[in-house]
Amino acid sequence: MLINITTLPGDGIGPEVTDQAVHVLQAVAEAFDHRLKITQKNIGGAALVANNDPLPSDTVQSCLASGAVLLGAVGGPAFDSYPSRLRPEAGLLRLRSELGVFANLRPAICLLGLESLSPLREEIVRGTDVMIARELLGGLYFGERSTKGDSGRRRAVDTMSYSEPEIERIARIGFQLARQRRKELTSVDKANVLDSSRLWREVVNRIGSEFKDVQLSHMYVDSAAMALVSRPTQFDVILTENMFGDILSDQAGAVVGSLGLLPSASIGGKVGLYEPIHGSAPDIAGKGIANPLGAILSAAMLLRHSFQLEAEAASVEMAVREVLADGHRTRDLAGKTDRPITTSEMGQTVAGRVRERVQAPAN
């Protein structure tokens, strides 16, 4: 089939890791006999420099005309003083909303053998396998906001707002994910304080009655944050609103100790958007030491969710696990005794493994 995607390398380490994800997609296309068509466009700081707009309209058009979008990262210190509308992050938020991707899936898995990367004790983190389903187009990020008044007495307001249909559609995604996993869903809110959370809980309970095979529980976000570090293995799927999901997903990444390994998928809209969660990491950009596995695993999610290519997605994920099990490490994963490999060596190694696996499939 035709795998027609737009890549948005963006800023910082974005271009380096996206390159490697593209190599792996090329390996998948060859091994499984698909045709890969890639259009590269600007976003974020790269687009601000080139077009004075963090999300140029030809980028949006290309994304909407493709089967999926693979993004590297946006942002960097050079843009910190830009007005909010012209920040790289504004480009990403607008892209999410142009694509209509309301469901952000962020898996955080502690891979066997990588327990020591976690800042937590190995016995606490071992076996952690959480999927965060974060609402992506509502809440504080998209509510009304303003800053008013005279200097020294100004007041800034952000609004956390959710409608029933917005909660319903993300809840359904959460329950469906749980159904394909261990069938446990924890909905995270702050219903002891917030109206938006009380509505959230009510709607999630209602949708839950359609998924009787999934065990639903509710947790306040503060206690979820605590549970995520004290007993991370208790979670299967976490369903939560935009801001809580932003925070908890970084926390989950830190818990498994390998931010560089973690992918994400933003789905539910016209076209899916896939990106590693590590961000632009300007301090290590251009040095060839960034970990491309988050981007590569995002490409696997792209194959699965936007093209329904499950075997292809699984071949990438298996290749990554094997390469790690063989001891290949980028600098962020390397122990004192390992010799770290570069970004492109890691990409080539995974791509090579994808080709080998398909030529000689394990049974």
Residue positions annotated with a catalytic role: 141, 190, 222, 246, 250
Q: Which is nearer to Mg ion, 189 or 246 (CB)?
A: 246
Q: Name which of residues 227 to 286 contact Mg ion (CB under 5 A).
A: 246
Query: CA-CA distance, 2 to 190, in Å (whole number)?
Result: 44
Burial class from Cβ neighbours inside 10 Å (0-12, 13-18, 19+) for residue 171 reads buried
Q: Which is nearer to ligand IPM, 56 or 75 (CB)?
A: 75
Shortest Å, Cβ 245 to Mg ion: 9
Q: Which does 350 bind (CB under 5 to 8 A by kind): Mg ion, ligand IPM, none?
A: none
Q: Which residues contact 52 (CB under 8 A, 6 or more apart)?
A: 86
Q: Which does 312 bind (CB under 5 to 8 A by kind): ligand IPM, Mg ion, none?
A: none
Q: Which is nearer to Mg ion, 11 or 246 (CB)?
A: 246
Give the nearest residue (CB) to Mg ion: 246
Nearest to 141 by CA among 192, 101, 199: 101
Query: CA-CA distance, 324 to 195, in Å (whole number)?
Result: 45
What residues line the site for ligand IPM (CB under 6 A)? 75, 89, 92-93, 246
Q: Which is nearer to ligand IPM, 28 or 68 (CB)?
A: 68
**What is each CA distance from 21 to 17, 51, 71, 230, in whole angstroms?**
6, 26, 10, 34
Helix axes 293-307, 14-32, angle to 10 degrees: 50
Q: Which is nearer to ligand IPM, 38 or 93 (CB)?
A: 93
**What is each CA distance from 38 to 2, 28, 298, in whole angstroms?**
10, 14, 16
Q: Which does 247 bind (CB under 5 to 8 A by kind): Mg ion, ligand IPM, none?
A: none
SS3 labels along 110-121: CCCCCHHHCCCC
Shortest Å, Cβ 280 to ligand IPM: 9
Shortest Å, Cβ 31 to Mg ion: 33
Q: Which does 292 bind (CB under 5 to 8 A by kind): ligand IPM, Mg ion, none?
A: none
Q: Which does 89 bind (CB under 5 to 8 A by kind): Mg ion, ligand IPM, none?
A: ligand IPM
Element (H, E) at 37: strand 35-40
Give the nearest residue (CB) to ligand IPM: 89
Beta strands in 67-209 (DSSP E): 68-73, 103-109, 129-135, 145-148, 155-158, 184-189
Shortest Å, Cβ 72 to ligand IPM: 12
Residues that bind Mg ion (CB under 5 A): 246
